[in-house]
Amino acid sequence: MPFKLAVLPGDGVGPEVVDETIKVLRAVGSRFGHEFRLNYGLCGGVAIEQEGTALSKETLKMCKQSDAVLLGAVGDPKYDDPEAPVHPEDGLLALRKGLGLFANLRPVRVYPALVDNTNFKPEVIRGADFIFVRELTGGLYFGRPKRQWRTSRGRRAVDSMSYSEQEISRIVRVGFEIARGRLKKLISVDKANVLQSSRLWRQVALEVSRDYPDVELEHMLVDACSMRIIQNPRYLDTLVTENTFGDILTDEASMLAGSMGMLPSASLAGVPKEGASIFGMYEPIHGSAPRRAGQDMANPIATIMSMAMMLSYSLALTREAEAVEAAVGQVLEEGYRTYDIMGEDKIRVGTKKMGDLIADRLGG
């Protein structure tokens, strides 16, 4: 049975990094004997331009009928005007909500080959390896009321950080499941000293923890967590947090890996269990980088590693995922670098060459 994949390249550098990822996916197919059927769709600025909406019903339906979705990036400075009636990001949010992708996994790994390539002291970050489980369909992004209005004393706006216990318990469960497969230490990040939604979060996390006696649970305030990430990242293993906190902390954490261009993500529609496959969408954590678009510059590794996550979480192809990870590691060891991770005495390559190298190291 061929695997059915929806591919949404999106805006800016999105199509470039997706092309390289498909190249690597084809190499996986020929080495391991799998067939991947791809259906392309539009999302973001390109969709607004060509279809009049950031995500059409047809594209959403096509995604629902697939085994997994691969997405490049969305965002276009043309729509930066806050008054614009529609934004490319709306397409991404509609996908997350429409596909029920409540669990966003963002692994952060410091590659040995890149340990001297960041703004941090190598001895602080060497060996850091942790994963964020970010809630993705609740909190400030979707809570109601959410609006801006005029009053006699000027304009006002509100966003609501609202969570139900069901929303909290299912994401915390994902945290525990992931922690179970790692070092069995889960940090739940909140702001329970101030926010009601965080107090509920903490209560529910404690309740769910009874089902996971083998996993140690620690609560950490989000401000302290932001400090810990750069002060002692090796302390961290698995973290679970709400939508906005996760958005902010993962950009921060990406710097440990040397570049946003290194960090993949998986957005899942259920609780991942060992050996079972689950529907998901896979995308790099970086944006569309419009200033880099069309120049064969962007680092495709984050998207390629997202595809590796797709192989393991949605298609149950663990060996294949490991082969992709190994190929990426090898190319980095050999000294090849895109501009964002360039270092002394390294070999600078563009997007396409990086894709070629990784596909080549996979054999196939």
Which residues contribute to the site for ligand IPM (CB under 6 A)? 89, 92, 247, 285, 287
The verdict on whether 191 is a catalytic residue reads yes
> Which of residues 264 and 355 has its CB atom nearest to Mg ion in the complex?
264
Structure tokens at 362: 């996979």
Q: Is position 247 an interface residue for Mg ion (rule: CB under 5 A)?
A: yes
> Which of residues 72 and 350 has its CB atom nearest to ligand IPM in the complex?
72
> Which of residues 143 and 364 has its CB atom nearest to ligand IPM in the complex?
143
**Catalytic-labelled residue, pool 116, 129, 237, 251:** 251
**Catalytic-labelled residue, pool 79, 191, 282, 313:** 191
Q: Which stretch binds Mg ion (CB under 5 A): 247-255, 257-265, 295-303, 340-348?
A: 247-255
| 3 state SS for the chain | CCEEEEEEEECCCHHHHHHHHHHHHHHHHHHHCCCEEEEECCCCHHHHHHHCCCCCHHHHHHHHCCCEEEEEECCCHHHCCCCCCCCHHHHHHHHHHHCCCCEEEEEEECCHHHCCCCCCCHHHHCCCEEEEEEECCCHHHCCCCCEEEEECCEEEEECCCCCCHHHHHHHHHHHHHHHHCCCCEEEEEECCCCCHHHHHHHHHHHHHHCCCCCCEEEEEEHHHHHHHHHHCHHHCCEEEECHHHHHHHHHHHHHHHCCHHHCEEEEECCCCCCCCCCCEEEEECCCCCHHHCCCCCCCCHHHHHHHHHHHHHCCCCHHHHHHHHHHHHHHHHCCEECHHHCCCCCEECCHHHHHHHHHHHHCC
The verdict on whether 356 is a catalytic residue reads no
Q: At closest approach, how far in Å is the CB of 48 from Mg ion?
A: 20
Q: Is position 16 an interface residue for Mg ion (rule: CB under 5 A)?
A: no
- Position 56, amino acid: S
Q: Which does 92 bind (CB under 5 to 8 A by kind): Mg ion, ligand IPM, none?
A: ligand IPM
Q: At closest approach, how far in Å is the CB of 101 from ligand IPM?
A: 11
> Which of residues 81 and 123 has its CB atom nearest to ligand IPM in the complex?
81
Residue with the shortest CB distance to ligand IPM: 89
Q: Is position 20 an interface residue for Mg ion (rule: CB under 5 A)?
A: no
The verdict on whether 237 is a catalytic residue reads no
> Which of residues 87 and 173 has its CB atom nearest to ligand IPM in the complex?
87
Q: At closest approach, how far in Å is the CB of 246 from Mg ion?
A: 8
**Catalytic-labelled residue, pool 146, 211, 223, 273:** 223
The verdict on whether 141 is a catalytic residue reads yes
Q: At closest approach, how far in Å is the CB of 171 from ligand IPM?
A: 15
**Catalytic-labelled residue, pool 141, 212, 282, 313:** 141
The verdict on whether 251 is a catalytic residue reads yes
Q: Which does 89 bind (CB under 5 to 8 A by kind): ligand IPM, Mg ion, none?
A: ligand IPM
Active site residues: 141, 191, 223, 247, 251
Which positions touch Mg ion (CB under 5 A)? 247
